[in-house]
Amino acid sequence: MITVKTLTFNAYSENTYVLYDETGKCVIIDPGMYEGYEQNELVSFIKENNLKPVLLLNTHCHLDHVFGNKFVFDTYGLKPQFNKGELPILQAVPGYAPQMGFSHYELSPEPDTFLPETGTISFGNSTLSLIFAPGHSPAHLCFYSAADHILMGGDVLFYGSIGRTDLPGGNHQQLIQNITDKLFVLPDETKVYPGHGPATSIGFEKQHNPFF
């Protein structure tokens, strides 16, 4: 069974997730640590719970979701994995980070392994299905565990809202379509862990999200 730990980092209040199961193996999703004390918080949690990081995943590659990629690589030897369509987004970060006030962005390593649009990835005794849901960014992936009724949704669907679509590669219609066709077909009890803000559920958003 997967346990989810939420850590909220950086000026964008980005949610970084550590997923782990009874084996002690864990996955780090969207590491947003920018300051040293944020890096320490992640390391402390992993250490205190005797976890072994085995995967680093990015739902997408906007700067607030990749700030900690280099630190995770330096500390645990893990390169990020994401869909290849996000690579230009990652490569653009050094060019605009200073304009956004982030002068000491540490360059993320690039993947050895890219994730496909569909399929699964496993860690410990657990499996996550890939759901390709662009619209907020060009090749955004969500990670879904049917067994645990959880969706790591990145910046696709939020509590009472959706991801912004005014950034390069964004497409409002595409985002709405993907949420409708790929996320709202999941069971109502599926808990959605978004890239920002509180967790929600598929059932709640189907009923109450003002965009639908």
What proportions of the chain, in percent to the nearest 5, are helix, strand and coil?
Answer: 30, 30, 45
pLDDT in tens, 1-26: 999 999 999 999 999 999 999 999 99
Q: What's the N-to-C CA distance of the chain in angstroms? A: 32
Q: Distance (Å, rounded) from C-alpha 207 to C-alpha 169?
A: 28
Count the domains in the chain. Answer: 1
CA distance 193 to 196: 8
Query: What pLDDT is recorded for position 138?
Result: 98
129: domain range?
3-208
> Among 92, 129, 118, which Cα is nearest to 107's?
92
Structure tokens that stand for 122 in this block: 């496993």
pTM of the predicted protein model: 0.98
pLDDT tens figures, 125-165? 999 999 999 999 999 999 999 999 999 999 999 999 999 99
Cα separations in angstroms, 153 against 47, 74, 100, 128, 157: 26, 26, 24, 12, 6
Amino acid present at 3: T
CATH number at residue 156: 3.60.15.10
